[in-house]
Amino acid sequence: MPSLFDPIQLGDIPAANRILMSPLTRGRATDDHVPTDIMVDYYRQRAGAGLIISEGTGISRQGLGWPNAPGLWTEAQVEAWKPVTAAVHEAGGRIVAQIWHMGRLSRPDVIGMTPLSSSATRAPYHKPENPYGEAQAATLDDIRRAQDDYASAATNAIRAGFDGVQLHGANGYLIDQFLRDGTNLRDDDYGGSPENRIRFMREAVARVIDAIGAGRTSIRLSPNGETQGADDSDPVSVFVPAAAALDALGIAFLELREQAPDGTFGSSDVPKLSPAIRKVFKGPLILNQDYSRDAAQADLDSGVADGIAFGRKFIANPDLVERFRRGAPLNADDMKTWYSTGPEGYTDYPALETEAA
């Protein structure tokens, strides 16, 4: 069986190992969603990952409602990403852009307009002051426009030097809002049956494939349990056929964020769907959430996964692959600095060589 440190071909993208850096929202771009110089250092430091999946990167102003997250819909954004991707490549790494439409989770105070979703719903919030507005149900024109935006952002990603893209189809964002019957209340060709709820995802992925090729296209799903107010009454009925549809499209890889009952950042008693998805998706399958090095290797050994994506461990350990290789101790991350704006908790975590010195 393969080791975590063995190379893997992810569509057209050669990865030096099977330890991927999962997408991590960090908030270091400008107010206009333009990447900044500090992001060059951050991604360069983590180029030892087999593949870096960038932080969620907006495909349009309406779709990006997170302060200081980067985008890929303006020329300034494309140009500002170029030093980032160049730095990763110069360090021997590979990087894809996670392209992101937040749907009803786009905050009106950030986007300056009404958010868009599969249906006219409002995302819940754990505090009385809910920053989310009620979304407008997407018309057919809105659906086509959003799919155009995915394709345009993918094209811009390649222009910016990325090796490919990952559509963000997880965590209660727009694609997920179409997939789940708790958020998709439509009665047209994009709602109702699982086949119809899969349609938006399938068409968006197909548009991206038309723009940049299947070998540079991937997607992330979160098939089990509620996430940011999005849930489904029968996830097997929608996510297994969704994975089969993605297999038919021939994408580079599929990443699953799967919650567990004892999860440290979101938990669920809904069983993991990766074993069932593994049966219908024959391409590289990447799993994510709460993995240790040994648990990651065990899932490679079992055949349920071809690679493992790590998130918070990469925040605090820019040289995570080397630490795993040596069995070295890991730094702990500081949640207070995840979404702050400076180098603290971003580019100042030490590598092994720095610690030794």
Q: Which residues are catalytic?
A: 173
3-class SS of residue 220? strand
Whether the Cβ atoms of residue 106 and residue 65 lie closer than 8 Å to each other: yes
Number of alpha carbons in the 13 Å side-chain half-sphere of residue 353: 4
CB atoms within 10 A of CB 344: 12
Which long-range contacts (C-beta less than 8 Å, at least 24 apart) are formed by 243-249?
A: 243/277, 243/280, 243/281, 244/280, 244/281, 245/198, 245/201, 245/202, 246/202, 246/205, 246/219, 246/281, 247/280, 247/281, 247/282, 247/283, 249/202, 249/205, 249/206, 249/209, 249/214, 249/217
Instruction: Assess contact for 178 and 201: CB atoms under 8 A.
Output: yes
> Burial level of 356, CB count in 10 A (0-12/13-18/19+)?
exposed
C-alpha torsion angle, residues 102, 106, 112, 114 (rounded to 10): 90
Q: What single-letter amino acid sits at 8?
A: I
Single-letter amino acid code for the residue at 82 = K
Write the single-letter amino acid at 176: D
